[in-house]
Structure 1
Amino acid sequence: MLLKKLLRFGSTYCYYRTHSEHYTNFIRTFRTSSKCCEQKEEEKESKALIQRDAFDRIQDKTKQTYLEAIKYFINEDHVYRRGHVEFIYSAMKHMQEFGVHKDLEVYKALIDVLPKGKFIPQNIIQAEFMHYPKQQQCIIDLLEQMEDCGVMPDYEMEDLLVNIFGRRGFPVRKYWRMMYWMPKFKNLSPYPVPDPLPNDTFELAKYAIERISKVDVTTVVTVYQTVDIVDSIDDTWVVSAQSTTQKMLLQEHDVTQPIYVEGPFKVWIKGNPINYFILRTKAGPPAPEEKDVNLDDVSKLKVSLFNLRPPVGKAMRKIPSVHEQDDGTIYSLCATGTSSQDSLLSWIRHLEKDGNPKLGEAQVVFTLRTGSKEIAKVGEEQDEIKRKLKINDTNRL
């Protein structure tokens, strides 16, 4: 029995020695084939990355081309839809370029990219431990971007989220919170503007001046044309606001004190900046401070006799209006089409003709600010400082 085993082992060994080259070649080909498989996987991943960043290659950046790119991704892999999370993040990054960051239909199309029924938790443990966290966090980021852009979801979006993550998913909870709070804040602004806003700068300037001047209900917004003033250079419009109280304050102004035109200041109308200017003077003398009176002190209480009223204090103080601030009194404000000094000079001439003769007697000083400078990055500033130090060291040497 032992002899049979030795003969069998010897024959196997001899066969292996004679065919060793065949086995080594097979192992080599297997390894090379595995490398080829790895290379193919890398090529697939690179193709997927190219596909996800396909929004950069689109020339016509419109809503239609954006939706077509989403449909192309869905139709290419309609079963598993590999790389859907990366595709959604890439699509969110390019939404503002296509002008669809405030479009509800586009957000629903992005949510529809995820496959249905694959990320629904099967028990309470999976639900509370955020089953499939990568996909859920992706949709939560999408909903947060909707909230930042002021896009309110609808009930169709709830059906999409329930079909993808179930009723216990974290994106569905985020949706419920948005549907509770966003309708409460939608019409809460006391100064509403139309949605969508017009693209005309003149209309935006009117909305901006009306919003600022609504602190006084007697304010009248007037539109002037600079060509109505003789020797004017700019041909543009001026949106001016002035109330009856401001006209009275301007009539009481001391002509020996100068009046300043300051600006430009910036106000934002739903992401659109508008420059405006103010006409003001320096603050007057501070009002006398009132002495603190202890109302609980009854030691000096004066009792009236024979139904006579107690004497009233003679110290009286005029209550300042809303236009009289601590840093000065505001007489008017405006926004012009060019924001130039010539258009502001035409504005002053129009105000003088419109019931403000003191502007022709007082000295008007233009204290205009220059445009905003470019803000350098911290890293660039440090590099510049290091470069100057190196130059100084070389000069010393």
Structure 2
Amino acid sequence: MRSLRLLITAQKLCARLRQMPAVEPHGARSQLLRAVHTSSSPGPPKSDPPKTVAPFEDAFAKDQRDKASFVQVLDMFCGRDVRRRGHVEMIEAALRWMPHFGVEKDIEVYNKLLDVFPKEVFIPRNFIQTMFLHYPRQQECAIRVLDQMEYYGVTPNRHTYFLLAQTFGKLSHPVKKYQRMMYWFPRFKHINPYPVPVDLEADPVALSKVCLARIAADRDAQVTVYQLPSSEVCEDGTVQEHQPLVGIQSPDQIALLAEHDPKYPVIVEGPFPLWLKKICVQYYVLRAEPAARKKEELDPERCFYYPLQLDLDLERDLGDDHSFNVDEVEEGPVYAMCMAGSGDERMLGKWIQCLQEANPVLGQLPVLFRLTSGPQEVSLPAQEEAKSAKEEARQSPTEEEEEMRQHRRMEQ
């Protein structure tokens, strides 16, 4: 009986244990409590964008490129983060994109770039920090901004000095660079007697006038527009475009052309390049050989032993060294210059015909054209190797052609 009771009690205990839920392990329970009562793991949340340095090249690659859009990108960067993280990369990218936006000569944009630096962070606190270039990367970036201003001829102002002193201190290297620029820029700003205009003309006729007046050494030279750019509809329905034709000639050149020896031809040479800032133009000259001048008849009463004129160099000293002699090469006289749109013989022949109105002697003189080809594109070495390989492949016979030749020889 006692054993029967023990069996019945054991069955009841097993039934109760089967109805109870399973006990969780201690590790899983602790992880659950930690997830509920503690914060999340360190790191940025998945929903928010990462706070890394953004690709600034994509920010500047816009369809609308002007000063307003450029300043807007800088304002967006300054308002994104108080600490201005990535300001050096931002300024370097902005310096590369400034010519594309047309703001490479705007002092306000350069001051806006210097304003991107955090203020009163890079100022040295003692003499040792000043001597060992405190925050060198930031100071070199500011010096690059001033170097680009110097390259494009932009003179800094007082606001530039205020930004540099507020950012790096009065004894920093960017401030010293600013002081050197302010010392030399005013002295060399107006030293060129023939300055290039600040804004070049977009009209080809007006640009040709500026270029020819700049080339001519005589201020009395007169610029003449022989043909304006236009288009004409021919009888067959084709449209013919007339290129501009502008020439220049001085009274002295007209007098020299009138004394030209008819035995020698006049020569039209060109094109010769002329650079004005980033614009390259080409001009042509009408010249003659050195022997084409008429020989002057000597006065029969003149005596070679007692010349009528003495050329004495009174500034010469006995101690001067005359051992190094330079052979003087005499060039022929230049009678006129022009700028033709197409620059072919037909256009230059029209220029010679227009010059005959003021120079009737051109109708009796032969004209020789010495025209060279314009600037050619430089081919890359890889392209040259590809071309040479194609030419060798064309010249070298293939295997099928060799087999055909051998088969024909066997048949013969």
Matched with 2:321 is: none
Matched with 1:100 is: 103
Task: Quote the offset at 1:337 in angstroms.
Answer: 3.9
Deviations 1:299-334 (A, max 9, x none): xxxxxxxxxxxx6447989xxxxxx97342211111
For residues 345 and 387 of structure 1, do their structure 2 counterparts lie closer, same or farther at Cα, with a shift above 3 Å needed? Answer: closer
For residues 222 and 161 of structure 1, do their structure 2 counterparts lie closer, same or farther at Cα, with a shift above 3 Å needed? Answer: same
Matched with 2:153 is: 150
Matched with 2:268 is: 261
**Is 1:186 matched with 2:189?**
yes
- 8 Å contact kept, 1:259–1:280: yes
**Is 1:328 matched with 2:332?**
yes
Matched with 1:218 is: 220
Letter in 1 for 2:289: K
* Unaligned residue ranges in structure 2 (runs of 5+): 1-24, 33-39, 230-239, 294-304, 312-327, 403-412
Matched with 1:54 is: 59
Give the alignment's TM-score, normalised by structure 1. 0.73
Q: Percent identity?
A: 38
Letter in 1 for 2:142: I
Task: Quote the offset at 1:365 in angstroms.
Answer: 2.0
- 8 Å contact kept, 2:56–2:93: no
Q: Does the residue aligned with 1:360 lie in a helix, a strand or coil?
A: helix
- 8 Å contact kept, 1:204–1:269: no
Matched with 1:4 is: none
Task: Quote the offset at 1:167 in angstroms.
Answer: 0.8
- 8 Å contact kept, 1:226–1:347: no
Task: Quote the offset at 1:82 in angstroms.
Answer: 0.3
- 8 Å contact kept, 2:122–2:167: yes
- 8 Å contact kept, 1:116–1:163: yes
- 8 Å contact kept, 1:226–1:234: no
* Unaligned residue ranges in structure 1 (runs of 5+): 1-17, 26-31, 228-232, 287-310, 318-323
Match of 1:375 among 378, 388, 392: 378
Task: Quote the offset at 1:151 in angstroms.
Answer: 1.3
Give the alignment's TM-score, normalised by structure 2. 0.70
Q: Does the residue aligned with 1:72 lie in a helix, a strand or coil?
A: helix
Structure number with the bigger relative contact order (C-alpha 8 A, sep ≥ 6) is: 1
Task: Quote the offset at 1:344 in angstroms.
Answer: 2.0
Matched with 1:342 is: 346
Matched with 2:367 is: 364
Range moving further from structure 2, 82-91 or 325-334: 325-334
- 8 Å contact kept, 2:221–2:248: yes
For residues 40 and 150 of structure 1, do their structure 2 counterparts lie closer, same or farther at Cα, with a shift above 3 Å needed? Answer: farther
Distance 2:241 2:331 in 1: 31
Task: Quote the offset at 1:86 in angstroms.
Answer: 0.3
Task: Quote the offset at 1:373 in angstroms.
Answer: 1.5
Match of 1:235 among 237, 242, 246: 242
For residues 387 and 258 of structure 1, do their structure 2 counterparts lie closer, same or farther at Cα, with a shift above 3 Å needed? Answer: same
Matched with 1:248 is: 255
Q: Does the residue aligned with 1:328 lie in a helix, a strand or coil?
A: coil
**Is 1:85 matched with 2:92?**
no
Distance 2:385 2:132 in 1: 45
Deviations 1:224-246 (A, max 9, x none): 2379xxxxx76344322212221
Task: Quote the offset at 1:192 in angstroms.
Answer: 2.4
Task: Quote the offset at 1:24 in angstroms.
Answer: 12
In the alignment of these two chains, the number of paired residues is 334
Flag the structure with larger Rg: 2
**Greater fraction of residues in helix:** 1
Q: Does the residue aligned with 1:146 lie in a helix, a strand or coil?
A: helix
